Structure 1
């Protein structure tokens, strides 16, 4: 049987992988308007670090209840730390600081160039040569995503350059982590793997946030605490576990392209929850982006 990582081999699309990818997209997509609300009370480092640490502890408890071991063989620690830095820590820190320089919509455009870099990196690292259908799907999804947020007037100015570079760095880091996770899998139980990666990635962020951020936990209403709970359980305990499960079952480039549904969902939920504009042009762009994602799953 040929390996999915073998050059020239046709990658298999596992239905379970697509289901996990859909859960990931919904979990992360819903978290965009929630995060937009919460950052008014909790700065990015505190919000991301705290929810991540709490989420990792809950995942560790779930893993033990399900009979999964939390023991990590000594030989796996280097790749575990690398995965945690790229897939969690790098994304959280760089995107958090990027939002200090960029509107959320513009940061999202730059951040979700990630599938472009993952598809490119998967070729030399994994031998996943991009076929014509996958290239077309990538172009469709990326063009649709750009159209969704283009109405916000993306304009790269010198003052925005630090934010653009940091968002791009976060996208490159996540893309590299996605590809390396396929090349050097952790071979840990899925919930345990998620608990360790999120914990190792977010614990340093929470420590730094504790010293440098000025947080207003007391200002959170009852509804705010519910949203904080979703950002912890929905984003980390559900979506991240589903992401690692999807990545174990799908080619890295397909999984990465599939994440472009996240900002699509984020735009729709923001329009409903935050009353942001969503006209015919934006709806058409959403459909175009989803068509590109669907096409990627057939390639």
Structure 2
């Protein structure tokens, strides 16, 4: 990474950045219904924390095998801990808990208000003043999200309120982490950066799960284990690495807007796998959201 801290980030939009962003969106999109399904067998902190720790170990092994150093300079530890807390720890905990109150499709939709917060925060922190195309793309993407909410009969009932608050808090935290990653880059190799952030973010979550939850791993079926292992590898070894790589190659606001394909993928896969609603509203949202993402990549 060659970003500088003294001036606003001005990363250009590159084909490699868009490719990494697409990999991130697909990996995270599929993860929503899988996590919702697995929560019927494992409690949230145990599920999110244990998969994260396992994912961090895999990332560290990949880093070593690829010749990347895991050494972290002393001066980078504070910003590494902040990044891990916002981008991984808070996201894992809050989104895992939100799924206890919300369907996977609704949780994904609320979570991906993140681009709004990122675009707002990128202006004062990074000096990334939003241009007209970016504003239009953001409006189109959120028109798509509004269509999905309407199609699902989304209602902010009191029963769902804890999940809504947790999903919004997780979205804001991730947005702040996204913007700060551009302002205060870690200057670590991608695999090493991902391994440390996932490990630091998920280890306290796993410990909390061991202390306050009761997980019966023996009840998991072969299908459950297949989903658990597959989702762990895709989410951490593919999606997180791709996200950090995309963030290094794209403006923070463009990267954030691009991830709005994630809830569309989440809604569609949740409809197919969990039989959550998928009707004209969701189809219209697919068109609006992907059009917004496409426009964002040209801004």
- TM bin (shorter chain): over 0.9
Which residue of structure 2 aligns with residue 63 of structure 1?
A: 63
How far 1:269 moved relative to its partner?
1.7
User: Could you tell me how far apart the structure 1 residues matched to 2:114 and 2:24 are?
Assistant: 15
Instruction: Give matches, 1:153-164, under 5 Å.
Output: 153-164=153-164
Normalised TM-score (structure 2): 0.94
Which residue of structure 1 aligns with residue 102 of structure 2?
A: 102
User: Could you tell me how far apart the structure 2 residues matched to 1:292 and 1:230 are?
Assistant: 30
Which residue of structure 2 aligns with residue 262 of structure 1?
A: 262
User: Is the CA contact 2:63–2:191 (under 8 Å) kept in the aligned structure 1?
Assistant: yes
1:101-141 per-position Cα deviation (integer Å, ceiling 9, x unaligned): 33333322221110000000000000000011101100110
User: Is the CA contact 2:94–2:169 (under 8 Å) kept in the aligned structure 1?
Assistant: yes
User: Is the CA contact 2:17–2:245 (under 8 Å) kept in the aligned structure 1?
Assistant: yes
Of 212-221 and 118-127, the range deviating more from structure 2: 212-221
Of 207-216 and 272-281, the range deviating more from structure 2: 272-281
How far 1:279 moved relative to its partner?
2.5
User: Could you tell me how far apart the structure 1 residues matched to 2:110 and 2:29 are?
Assistant: 16
CA distance 1:148–1:252, shift in 2 (3 Å):
same
How far 1:42 moved relative to its partner?
0.9
User: Is the CA contact 1:6–1:128 (under 8 Å) kept in the aligned structure 2?
Assistant: no
User: Could you tell me how far apart the structure 1 residues matched to 2:210 and 2:5 are?
Assistant: 43
Unaligned runs of 5+ in 1: none
How far 1:18 moved relative to its partner?
0.3
1:45-86 per-position Cα deviation (integer Å, ceiling 9, x unaligned): 111100000000011011111111000000000000000000
SS in 2 for 1:185: coil
How far 1:11 moved relative to its partner?
5.1
User: Is the CA contact 2:32–2:108 (under 8 Å) kept in the aligned structure 1?
Assistant: no
User: Is the CA contact 2:64–2:70 (under 8 Å) kept in the aligned structure 1?
Assistant: yes
Are residues 1:139 and 2:150 paired?
no
Of 61-70 and 158-167, the range deviating more from structure 2: 158-167
Which residue of structure 1 aligns with residue 43 of structure 2?
A: 43
CA RMSD of aligned residues (A): 1.9
Which residue of structure 2 aligns with residue 19 of structure 1?
A: 19
How far 1:36 moved relative to its partner?
1.5
CA distance 1:100–1:30, shift in 2 (3 Å):
closer
Which residue of structure 2 aligns with residue 148 of structure 1?
A: 148
Are residues 1:282 and 2:243 paired?
no
Normalised TM-score (structure 1): 0.94
Which residue of structure 1 aligns with residue 249 of structure 2?
A: 249
Instruction: Give matches, 1:190-205, under 5 Å.
Output: 190-205=190-205
How far 1:6 moved relative to its partner?
5.2
SS in 1 for 2:68: coil
User: Is the CA contact 2:5–2:183 (under 8 Å) kept in the aligned structure 1?
Assistant: no
Unaligned runs of 5+ in 2: none
Which residue of structure 2 aligns with residue 165 of structure 1?
A: 165
Of 149-158 and 123-132, the range deviating more from structure 2: 149-158
Q: How many residues end up aligned between the 2 structures?
A: 297
SS in 1 for 2:160: helix
Instruction: Give matches, 1:114-125, under 5 Å.
Output: 114-125=114-125
